[in-house]
Structure 1
Amino acid sequence: MRSHRPGRLRRIVSVAAAVNDRDEEQAAAIRRRYLIRFEEDTLKSRPLWIRLIIEFLGTFVLVTVAAGSGVINHYVGGGPISRTAAVIAPGAVVMALIYAWGPLSGLHINPAVTFAFTSRRVFPPAWVVPYWVAQFAGAIGAALLLQAMFGHVSAGGNYPISTPGGEWRSFVMEIILTAILVSVILHTATGGRSIGHNAAIAVGSTVALLGLFASPISGSSMNPARTLGPDIVGANFTGWWVYVFGDFIGAAIAVVIIILVRGLPDKAEREAAEGGALPL
């Protein structure tokens, strides 16, 4: 009887291993099916109205966070929100929004970015005006919310540094900052399915890092909607041209740079600009 025990144990172990292998194969098959379905949902074409909703909501959230720090500091008094926190928060929220909503619209949430993708010929020209309307509507909506809750929304605006020559220095700074940011966006939108998580980290970090060193000069807006939303609601247009012309010139420079170093766009880049090629 004892001589048969090792054989029985081996058979039991063999059966257990076979069951375990079968369970692992089944789990792998389930994961593959889930990923395929997730990929199909992520990459499918979205109608324009869904894209516009996302652009409106994304810009609303961004401006609420970016302008909200200044407004809340003015309302509470004493400056409880530090400059470091005020510039890191927009970068963090951009990172989160790219993860969450990037596949739905491309998550431009910035008229200069839409302009850059269109100039790069990876974004339909017919969608430019609707995107801009949604972006400015989101920015104005956020400014109205801040004004209704805390008042003095101009405290959350971007204005050139109030020193002699401050406007032109802010103008040059906005050109440089926007060129850097849009370059990062355009380059992470190239290369098809490697852009999703990388784009979220790269773009969000760029927004925060540029703000850390440049915000005392121009506020490091890099986004006409983010600036003009509070300007319109607060009726304070000091230096408005800095954030319109500066940001669009910076975006144009970024387009020239990517054309020089990477050439014409491919299909993957066009899909990324339209929100259809972000990876899992």
Structure 2
Amino acid sequence: MASGSDRIDEEMGRPGGDDSSFLSSPQVVRLIQKAIAEAVGTFFVIFAGCSSVAVNKIYGQVSFPGICLTWGLIVMVMVYAVGHISGAHFNPAVTITFALLRRFPFKEVTDLCTSQVPVFIISQVVGATLASYTVFVVLHTKPIHFFGTTPAGSDVQSFIVEIIISFLLMFVISGVATDNRAIGELAGMAVGATITLNVFVAGPISGASMNPARSLGPAIVMHNYKGIWVYMLGPLIGIMSGGFVYNLIRCTDKPLRELTKSGSFLKSMTRSNDR
């Protein structure tokens, strides 16, 4: 009787133990490409955004409106740069929500890579941490120049604010990037504008994280975990809620049970998943 690993080898169309053949399979190559795209995209999002915060604290040249625009612009740019490769999540909460809504595959084609979700999340956290370390080393930041997110008031106040702005972000993402009736080419601009608005509104209160990786990277590098639970739970709850609410109001001819069975962040990602 063939062992479990032998059966997997046969299904992959390679002889047992042929690691080079496995790594060169189209499914694995695509997954690696997506992971790299998420890591690089998240790196530049966090590097640009956190650099603007640190530079403003150190030199006072950027200003609060400049910080808001920087976050929005870098997200918009990176969505257009790698959205057609990985879907441009850059956010563990977005990845988890898309997976729950079946707009992102829980199960990969291969048996050895059973889910893309942890691969994406690890790539995002690694990208955010490397970007934070780069900012820390290049700008010689001190504790007073902390470029992460901490509550300005109470933890509960920031927690509620993070839920609200994260809800709005995911609601917009769902509307412009997963609905076939929307103009998909404008998704990057819409998402970037939403982030800019959210930072304007919530920046002075909670730091406007909307992304667990955005808060975790600087916290790890600078060892500042004040209120970190706010930025782990708040964005996750808000983004999941925003995605589910849009999914409920989406106009469709499909029955309710079919509402969560198609699409992805960008339409191009759907095409890549089908290949």
TM over 0.5: yes
Whichever residue aligns with residue 156 of structure 1, its letter is F
TM alignment of 1:235-246, pairs within 5 A: 235-246=223-234
Whichever residue aligns with residue 70 of structure 1, its letter is V
User: Which residue does 2:138 correspond to in 1?
Assistant: 149
Contact 1:176–1:250, Cα closer than 8 Å, also in 2: yes
Superposition RMSD in Å: 2.2
CA distance in 1, matches of 2:32, 2:58: 36
TM (norm. structure 2) is 0.78
User: Which residue does 1:25 correspond to in 2?
Assistant: none
Which structure has the bigger radius of gyration? 1
Call closer, same or farther: CA 1:176–1:151 in 2, change over 3 Å: same
CA displacement at 1:171 relative to structure 2: 0.3
Aligned residue among 260, 263, 267 for 1:265: 260
- CA deviations on 1:17-50 (whole Å, 9 max, x unpaired) are xxxxxxxxxxxxxxxxxxxxxxxxxxx9970100
Identity among equivalent pairs (%)? 35
CA displacement at 1:87 relative to structure 2: 1.2
Contact 1:115–1:251, Cα closer than 8 Å, also in 2: no
Aligned residue among 163, 166, 169 for 1:175: 163
Runs of 5+ unmatched residues, structure 1: 1-43
Runs of 5+ unmatched residues, structure 2: 1-25, 107-114, 251-255
CA displacement at 1:195 relative to structure 2: 4.2
Call closer, same or farther: CA 1:273–1:137 in 2, change over 3 Å: farther
CA distance in 2, matches of 1:174, 1:261: 23
Call closer, same or farther: CA 1:274–1:172 in 2, change over 3 Å: farther
Whichever residue aligns with residue 152 of structure 1, its letter is T
Whichever residue aligns with residue 127 of structure 1, its letter is Q
CA displacement at 1:276 relative to structure 2: 3.4
Whichever residue aligns with residue 31 of structure 2, its letter is L
Call closer, same or farther: CA 1:168–1:107 in 2, change over 3 Å: same
TM (norm. structure 1) is 0.76
* Richer in helix (by share): 1
Question: Is the aligned partner of 1:112 residue 2:93?
Answer: yes
User: Which residue does 1:41 correspond to in 2?
Assistant: none
Contact 2:175–2:182, Cα closer than 8 Å, also in 1: no
Of structures 1 and 2, the one scoring higher in RCO (CA 8 A, sep 6+) is 1
User: Which residue does 2:75 correspond to in 1?
Assistant: 94
Whichever residue aligns with residue 231 of structure 2, its letter is Y
Aligned residue among 58, 66, 69 for 2:41: 58
- CA deviations on 1:170-193 (whole Å, 9 max, x unpaired) are 000000000100111122222348
Contact 2:150–2:227, Cα closer than 8 Å, also in 1: yes
User: Which residue does 1:275 correspond to in 2?
Assistant: 269
User: Which residue does 1:127 correspond to in 2?
Assistant: 116
CA distance in 1, matches of 2:39, 2:56: 25
SS of residue in 2 equivalent to 1:171: helix
CA distance in 2, matches of 1:195, 1:276: 15
